[in-house]
Amino acid sequence: MSVVRTIFLQCPPASISPLSTPSSSSSNCVPVKFSVSCCSVASPVTVVNGNVDRKPYERNEVRLGLPSKGRMATDTLDLLKDCQLSVKQVNPRQYVAEIPQLSNLEVWFQRPKDIVRKLVSGDLDLGIVGLDTVNEYGQLHGDEDLILVHEALDYGYCRLSLAIPKYGIFENVNSLKELSQMPQWTPERPLRVVTGFTYLGPKFMKENGLSHVTFSTADGALEAAPAVAVRYFEFVVGCYWLHLERCLEILLIEIRYLSMGIADAIVDLVSSGTTLRENNLKEIEGGVILESQAVLVASRRSLIQRKGVLDITHEMLERFEAHLRAVGQFTVVANMRGSSAEEVAERVLSQPSLSGLQGPTVSPVFCKRDGKVAADYYAIVICVPKKALYKSVQQLRVIGGSGVLVSPLTYIFDEETPRWRQLLSNLGL
Ligand SMILES: Nc1ncnc2c1ncn2[C@@H]1O[C@H](COP(=O)(O)OP(=O)(O)OP(=O)(O)O)[C@@H](O)[C@H]1O
Ligand SMILES: O=P(O)(O)OC[C@H]1O[C@H](OP(=O)(O)OP(=O)(O)O)[C@H](O)[C@@H]1O
Ligand SMILES: [Mg+2]
């Protein structure tokens, strides 16, 4: 028999109070309703035999999920601010905010994994999180509902990696192949991996043909887990050689970590590599599961069905693309003596670092000489990659440039953003 329950999904900081509780006689097939005190529009979801039937919900506002805390939170707000899309949060403890430039948009501050879950459930339409979180909790390959609108927001860089101890039986193991060929791993004694990535971790091992592997999960400080098994080995060897001081140290570490369980390897995010180094772990060749950075992700259903989502996505995408193109560039203005605009342009284009985005803009600088208006000088305007600035200034001087002004760029808008065209075709629009 189908068990059908209608519930109202919770808004972020809501307190939920049951309106009616199921009586024992009707517990198999009852609408169970909860009222939600934080927001006016709740999302009805039907659960049939444990499967969520995701219908587009009746609500008028468009919802964008942003990380509420952690390392992504500040950088995300900074990116939006740099794109003149500042988030207005009346009170930092409030979970709902707005971006005044985008009317009808509600910002929901959530934990990254909850942003992805809520995109899948239909409570959010758009979100900014790390690609690792999208792939782990959205399971993009199995669920075509999530679409990466911008896959490279240029912050939150890290990689999901398999790491093993540097010492003991792993000392000479430097690749995934070598790890998989170790005779130690058998059905009775598999490779024990601890990870918070319980979807991507096992998937990677399976795809790479590692069969004798078991996974356990933990939140945070995963790097300490492999220490126990290998340090035990060191302890025995240390005793043998009577390095008592080292043995005592190992024993203390052992006692500290025993409560954390035992693992041979970890699958976790790595950025600078400091945490791995401090825990005597190493990455191995072929062990990178995913390269990640911040992304703008959307629900396909919302883009197609909910009024306003596509327009807001277009504006955000345009601003992100234009801003991210601009951050790596300076505008350079210089004066140059010349006989005509063409002649000046030729000189500028003879230098490889001065061609700009679409070639230089050259305009006459007029002055009055003997009562007549004349142009002896020309102003040139070009965009120069930040990294090539000094070289460009040197090249400008070589061809007679003077009074060089350099200023940062906020946006470079193209005629059309390539990602927008791709999104429309992805949606079949
Ligand atoms: N060391 C790192 N360097 C750079 N980016 C990172 C690093 N660790 C994580 N990230 C990125 O930041 C995102 C959020 O990580 P953060 O540690 O803030 O949250 P979290 O650990 O997922 O939060 P929670 O523990 O509350 O679920 C990750 O999904 C990843 O994309
Ligand atoms: O290579 P590194 O620059 O040292 O960064 C890697 C560490 O960063 C993340 O942890 P985080 O600090 O987010 O703590 P958490 O495990 O509690 O999420 C990740 O889980 C690693 O532990
Ligand atoms: Mg973290």
Across the beta sheet with 126-130, the strand order is: 96-97, 105-110, 62-67, 126-130, 294-299, 146-150
Looking from the CA of residue 223, the nearest atom of ligand 2 is 22
Looking from the CA of residue 71, the nearest atom of ligand 1 is 18
At 258 the pLDDT is 36
State if residue 272 touches ligand 2 by the CB under 6 angstroms criterion. Answer: yes
At 351 the pLDDT is 83
Looking from the CA of residue 112, the nearest atom of ligand 1 is 22
State if residue 273 touches ligand 2 by the CB under 6 angstroms criterion. Answer: yes
CA of 424 to the centre of ligand 3 (A): 34
Looking at the CA of 112, which ligand is closest? Answer: 1
Convert 75-101 to b/e letters by CB count within 10 Å (16 or more is b): bbbebbebbebbbebeeeeebbbbbee
User: Please, which residues have CB within 8 angstroms of residue 26's CB and are 6 or more apart in sequence?
Assistant: none
- Give the chain's length: 429
CA atoms within 13 Å, Cβ hemisphere of 368: 1
Asked if 231 and 320 touch (Cβ cutoff 8 Å), the reply is no
State if residue 269 touches ligand 2 by the CB under 6 angstroms criterion. Answer: yes
CA of 345 to the centre of ligand 1 (A): 49
CA of 79 to the centre of ligand 2 (A): 22
Looking at the CA of 73, which ligand is closest? Answer: 1
CA of 414 to the centre of ligand 3 (A): 36
Q: What is the 3-state secondary structure of the chain? A: CCCEEEEECCCCCCCEEECCCCCHHHCCCCCCCEEECCCCCCCEEEEECCEEECCCCCCCCEEEEEECCCHHHHHHHHHHHHCCCCCECCCCCCCEEECCCCCCEEEEEECHHHHHHHHHHCCCCEEEEEHHHHHHHHCCCCCCCEEEEECCCCCCCEEEEEEEECCHHHCCCCEHHHHHCCCCCCCCCCEEEEECCCCHHHHHHHHCCCCCEEEEECCCCHHHCCHHHHHHHHHHHHHHCCCHHHHHHHHHHHHHHHCCCCCCEEEEEECCCHHHHHCCEEEEEEEEEEEECEEEEEEHHHHHHCCCHHHHHHHHHHHHHHHHHHHCEEEEEEEEECCCHHHHHHHHHCCHHHCCCCCCEEEEEEEEECCEEEEEEEEEEEEEEHHHHHHHHHHHHHCCEEEEEEEECCCCCCCCCHHHHHHHHHCCC
Looking from the CA of residue 270, the nearest atom of ligand 1 is 1
User: Please, which residues have CB within 8 angstroms of residue 314's CB and are 6 or more apart in sequence?
Assistant: 420
CA of 161 to the centre of ligand 3 (A): 14
Interval 174-188: pLDDT, tens: 999 999 999 999 999
The rounded distance, in Å, linking the Cα atoms of 164 and 276 is 9
Asked if 137 and 131 touch (Cβ cutoff 8 Å), the reply is no
CA of 318 to the centre of ligand 2 (A): 32
To test the pocket of ligand 2, the residue of 129, 223, 275, 277 to mutate (highest count of ligand atoms within 8 Å of its CB) is 275
Looking at the CA of 220, which ligand is closest? Answer: 2
CA of 67 to the centre of ligand 1 (A): 10
To test the pocket of ligand 1, the residue of 153, 269, 289, 297 to mutate (highest count of ligand atoms within 8 Å of its CB) is 269
At 229 the pLDDT is 55
The rounded distance, in Å, linking the Cα atoms of 195 and 183 is 23
Question: Could you read off the pLDDT tens digit of each residue along the chain, which spans 429 residues?
Answer: 333 332 222 233 333 222 233 333 333 332 322 222 333 333 444 444 444 455 555 789 999 999 998 899 999 999 999 999 999 987 777 789 999 999 999 999 999 999 999 999 999 999 999 999 999 999 755 557 899 999 999 999 999 999 999 988 999 999 999 999 999 999 998 999 999 999 999 999 999 999 899 998 866 666 766 765 555 566 566 555 556 665 555 555 444 443 344 689 999 999 999 999 998 999 999 999 999 999 999 999 999 999 999 999 999 999 999 999 999 899 999 999 888 889 998 988 888 778 766 778 899 988 888 888 888 889 999 888 898 899 888 888 988 988 899 999 889 888 888 899 999 999 998
Looking from the CA of residue 269, the nearest atom of ligand 2 is 19
Looking at the CA of 224, which ligand is closest? Answer: 2
Asked if 384 and 332 touch (Cβ cutoff 8 Å), the reply is yes
Asked if 324 and 410 touch (Cβ cutoff 8 Å), the reply is no
Cα-based torsion angle of the residue sequence 10, 16, 17, 20 in order, rounded to the nearest 10 degrees: 20
